Amino acid sequence: MRLKRTAVLAAALFLCFVMCGFFVFRAVPAAAAKAETGVGLSEHALKAYRDGWKYHYGRYGQYMKGVRSSDCSGLIKSYLWWQGDACDPEPYLVPVAGSSRGMVASAKEKGTIDLSNSATLPRIHGLILYSPGHVGVYVGGNKSVDNRCSGQNVKYGDVIGGRYHWTTWFKLPQIQYPENGFVTFDGKQYYYENGQYVIDTSRTIDGVIYTFDHTGAMVSSSGTQQ
């Protein structure tokens, strides 16, 4: 009798363990992978500039004396490895080339920038800008953000007509870039067609007329959405 009761108790405990494990794992479903986007990278880089990140070789956004720091490629990696404002990025959360040279070598889509011709710079938020030994982020509106070197830290400035000699643009394989439709960046709306945001034009979409300025930002809308 005791043996039978022991067996019943053991079976009940095993069933309880299985059911508890089932509900624990069911109650917290696996989180869907966060999509890293060109707009998201642009927002991240612009925030790093506004927050006053410092330059420190080999770092990727860790706190140091109360301020985050990175090198040029580390600024980009910090977005891919971001875990929130309260903690350091988690290295290797997303596999990515470690250096500026490695990043450009990994790209399947790239092109040459002629700093006298704005048409050679695609209108795409989050493109990576390259100059030998250095990378930055294109945040749209002919503006770049890059963590340049000790003493200069994160810079924000013009690409075409700017002081820094960018030679190449490329799409980082780990980033999803807009194709068509509206995106919101830095509190403003932009409209993409065929992989680039429109500028200096109007579009009628579902009965509403939207007007976009020379930077691509929507400046007005009129009409009633159908």
Q: How long, in residues, is the chain?
A: 226
Tens digit of pLDDT for each residue in 155-212? 999 999 998 999 999 999 999 999 999 999 999 999 999 999 999 999 999 999 999 9
Is the separation of the CB atoms in 88 and 62 below 8 Å?
A: yes
Mean pLDDT of 147-160: 93
Last residue of a domain, one of 170, 196, 213: 170
CATH code of the domain in which 124 resides = 3.90.1720
Position of tokens 């290797």?
A: 92
Asked whether residue 113 falls in the same domain as residue 142, the answer is yes
Question: Which residues have CB under 8 Å from 150's CB, separation 6+?
Answer: 55, 56, 57
Tens digit of pLDDT for each residue in 54-83? 999 999 999 999 999 999 999 999 999 999
Asked whether residue 214 falls in the same domain as residue 150, the answer is no
Give the residue ranges of DSSP H helices in 53-191: 72-80, 100-106
d(CA 39, CA 200): 20
Quote the tokens at residue 69: 């720091």
Does residue 28 fall inside a structural domain? no
Quote the tokens at residue 14: 């095993």
Is the separation of the CB atoms in 138 and 125 below 8 Å?
A: yes
Asked whether residue 206 falls in the same domain as residue 148, the answer is no
Could you write out the DSSP letters of every residue in 39-93?
Answer: HHHHHHHHHHHHHTPEE-TT-EEEEETTEEEE-HHHHHHHHHT---TTS---TTS
Asked whether residue 145 falls in the same domain as residue 206, the answer is no
pLDDT value, residue 34: 65
Nearest to 141 by CA among 186, 173, 171: 186
Looking at the DSSP bridge assignments, the partners of residue 156 are 145
Query: Regarding beta strands 134-140 and 128-131, do their DSSP bridges make them parallel or antiparallel, or are they unpaired?
Result: antiparallel
Asked whether residue 147 falls in the same domain as residue 187, the answer is no
Asked whether residue 111 falls in the same domain as residue 159, the answer is yes
Does residue 50 fall inside a structural domain? yes
Asked whether residue 62 falls in the same domain as residue 107, the answer is yes
Mean pLDDT of 100-119: 96
Reported as a pLDDT band with limits 50, 70 and 90, residue 23 is very low
- Flag whether pLDDT at 31 surpasses 80: no
| Cα atoms found within 13 Å of the Cα of residue 20, Cβ hemisphere only | 6
Asked whether residue 116 falls in the same domain as residue 190, the answer is no
pLDDT value, residue 56: 96
Average confidence score pLDDT of the chain: 87
Does residue 69 fall inside a structural domain? yes
- Number of other residues whose CB lies within 10 A of the CB of residue 5: 9
Q: Strand order in 208-212's β-sheet?
A: 201-205, 208-212, 218-222
d(CA 87, CA 105): 30
Asked whether residue 62 falls in the same domain as residue 108, the answer is yes
Asked whether residue 159 falls in the same domain as residue 57, the answer is yes
Asked whether residue 87 falls in the same domain as residue 198, the answer is no
Which residues span the domain enclosing 162? 38-170
CATH code of the domain in which 195 resides = 2.10.270.10
Does residue 29 fall inside a structural domain? no
Nearest to 61 by CA among 49, 73, 46, 78: 78
Give the number of domains in the chain. Answer: 2
Asked whether residue 48 falls in the same domain as residue 146, the answer is yes
